Amino acid sequence: MKVIRPLILALAIAGGFFYFTTWRSNSQVGGLHPSTWLSHPAQVEITEAAPGESLDGEEQNNISVYKKNIPSVVNVTSRAMTFDFFYGLVPQEGQGSGFVIDKDGHILTNYHVIAEARQVEVTLHNRKKYKATVVGTDPPHDLAVIQIKAPDLIPAVLGDSRNLQVGQKVYAIGNPFGLAGTMTRGIVSSIRPVREPNGATIDEAIQTDAAINPGNSGGPLMNWHGEVIGINTMILSNANQSAGIGFAIPINTAKAVLNDLMTLGRVRRPALGVRTIPISPELADEIGLPADYGLLIIQVTPGGSADSAGLHAGTERAYLGNTAIMLGGDLIVAIDDQKVQDEDDLSQMMNNHRAGDTVKITIFRSKKKMDVSVALGEARQQV
């Protein structure tokens, strides 16, 4: 009996504690007594935004650029064959973007989007699909032109990438991760040379923080007016997705080779037909040149463009370190009034031209400054 009484008392205390701390509060919260808080209003009242909220100027421009360009942007699907682990052929599919450049169905995209493809298919904004033919490729510039036969195509407007400024607003439209018709916005972050994964260099690549992801390759980068100023081509990221650093090929680089791509299927690389060395202020002072920058011609290719135009190579043997060079040749300081300081400048200017173009080359011959017109020839290799 002495043992049972304390046990009964303990159970009573525990039961009372449970009632007041757990069961009673859960019953009230859990809706066992809803009459204390639940109401049934005759009409539900919510807070709504005012109808017809007007868009600001920036939003209106965003919408205008999108509506203007989305009919021109396409999805490009390429199908190729590759080998599996057991060296068996298996199909492989890749996706990218592109944009219509004329009513004949020519579409500009990246070379790496359609490289080694056995079949290329284009999906328009209206979701209609067409088989595409590869018309021309330019692997060094990562450019390609494909063509479809489709009615009522709307070409994109090609702008000018020469005078882009860091800070300009830009738009990218494409199909990232297969999400068709996606537009992102950013600014021009920088203009710089960039080396692509295949080893090719993009001169004056447009760096942007507009989100560019896999699937955007080949799509247009546009300015505030909706004009195409670049072709989105690559991102700098460890995660294979946008990290705020994307790059586009300047549209002027593409415009310089479009005629060749569409008529010949390849690009006739222009060349001066010279070998040169870059001139620094120290070297110019040492050998007595009239300018402290430029490219000194040490050899002219017989029968080449420079030879035909009358440019002179050096005739006096000298040594630059352990390398024999020829001094006394013409000093190139500008092409079409643009300053030339090294081989990169020359290469960039050649990329903006094609074989057959005539350029004005400013040189120093001895102490005399003069302009010479040179018809660019076709290079068998990059110059």
Question: Residue 212 has which token pair?
Answer: 């560019």
CA distance 224 to 239: 29
Give me the DSSP letters along 46-69.
---PPTTPPPPHHHHHHHHHHHHH
pTM given for the model: 0.71
Question: Bigger pLDDT: 262 or 199?
Answer: 262
Average pLDDT over residues 268-281: 88
Catalytic residue of the set 106, 112, 141, 161 = 112
Catalytic, 25? Answer: no
Three-state SS for 9? helix
Average pLDDT, the chain: 85
Domains for the chain: give ranges and CATH numbers: 66-147 (2.40.10.10), 169-263 (2.40.10.10), 270-378 (2.30.42.10)
Handedness of CA 166, 235, 340, 283 (dihedral sign): positive
Question: Residue 142 has which token pair?
Answer: 């990562």
Catalytic, 209? Answer: no
Percent of the chain with pLDDT over 70: 86
Give me the DSSP letters along 241-307.
S--S-EEEEEHHHHHHHHHHHHHTSS---EE--EEEEE--HHHHHHHT-SSSSSEEEEEE-TTSHHH
Catalytic residue of the set 78, 106, 138, 142 = 142
Catalytic residue of the set 78, 97, 217, 242 = 217
89 pLDDT exceeds 70?
no
Confidence band for 2, pLDDT divided at 50, 70 and 90: low
Q: Are 146 and 120 in contact (CB under 8 A)?
A: yes
Catalytic, 39? Answer: no
Please list the alpha-helical segments (H only) found in the chain. Answer: 4-18, 24-29, 57-69, 111-114, 251-263, 281-287, 305-309, 343-351
CA distance 68 to 215: 21
CA distance 113 to 110: 5
